[in-house]
Homo-oligomer: A and B are copies of this chain.
């Protein structure tokens, strides 16, 4: 939940004057997105989401993200289409911060995905990969495998505080990735953060993907590995192989995986768990006590790392 920036009716009216959307008829801050402020915006022209970009998102990267969202919407993928202003710009400024208006997407995210949701979400990811295949934008994944060892070098103490002995175990993982990380898998633009709260369903059907602010160039199978971690673990920490099989089947019904991609999935999922463990550990450390937004518990991903060390059966 997050609304960091407070927008007055006058500021909103001034902002909307640059668009061809008529006057606002409703405007409400919504509890969606941890990094940005999001508002339900209804105007005479329809319903939209207004996003004000806060910390973490770099303004110079927004054209890549907004461009990808437009591209996907143009290529038959259900992504919120950014709305251009009267001068054709999708990126503007509100209260001195970058801001954009995008279509309102229908659907509900699910808290505890069923096997059917996992199948549909896998299919949605494959559709995303195919729709984005020729997107001309480029963005290096600054949270990819080469970044992990330097990140962890600053987090040894936090890992030890979390669990004595953990730092050495993580260091062994990182050496393993450095030696064995697959580097020639098929790829292109990936979402890189397609957690359940970033997917909307209508019933069991995939209805939309949102929150493209970690999208980047990467291996398609790595994107799928991120989803296996995010969708196919039970609350008790066990891996749900039925859900994972459904997710892979859903993906492959749209885009079959190569033998190399399939055999790389266990190390990719192990590495994907490392990426989220490291950023959560970093956020955990950086968050002052009593902060408004509670950081996500790094231990959830520490447990997933432990499962991956045993080897996934996929």
Residues of B with C-beta under 8 A to A24: 108
Q: B26, A28: Cβ atoms under 8 Å?
A: no
Nearest CB in chain B to that of A29: its residue: B31
Residue from A24, A29, A108, A112 with most neighbouring chain B CB atoms (10 Å):
A108
Q: B42, A9: Cβ atoms under 8 Å?
A: no
A294 to nearest B CB, angstroms?
9
Q: B31, A107: Cβ atoms under 8 Å?
A: no
Known: A30-B29, A31-B28. A9 touches B110 (CB 8 A): yes
User: Quick check: is A3 within 8 A (CB to CB) of the other chain?
Assistant: yes
Q: A106, B31: Cβ atoms under 8 Å?
A: no
Q: A203, B10: Cβ atoms under 8 Å?
A: no
Known: A23-B203, A203-B23. A111 touches B10 (CB 8 A): yes
Q: B30, A30: Cβ atoms under 8 Å?
A: yes
A55 to nearest B CB, angstroms?
18
Interface size range of chain A in the complex: 20 to 34
Residues of B with C-beta under 8 A to A109: 9
Q: B9, A108: Cβ atoms under 8 Å?
A: yes
Q: Which 6 A-B pairs have the closest CB atoms?
A: A290-B290, A29-B31, A8-B111, A28-B30, A9-B110, A3-B31
A290 to nearest B CB, angstroms?
3
Q: A8, B112: Cβ atoms under 8 Å?
A: yes
Give the contacts of A255-299 with B (CB-CB under 8 A): 289-290, 292
Residues of B with C-beta under 8 A to A249: none
Nearest CB in chain B to that of A28: its residue: B30
CA distance A292 to B31 in the complex (A): 14
Known: A1-B3, A3-B1, A40-B40. A108 touches B26 (CB 8 A): yes
Give the contacts of A7-34 with B (CB-CB under 8 A): 8-10, 12, 23-32
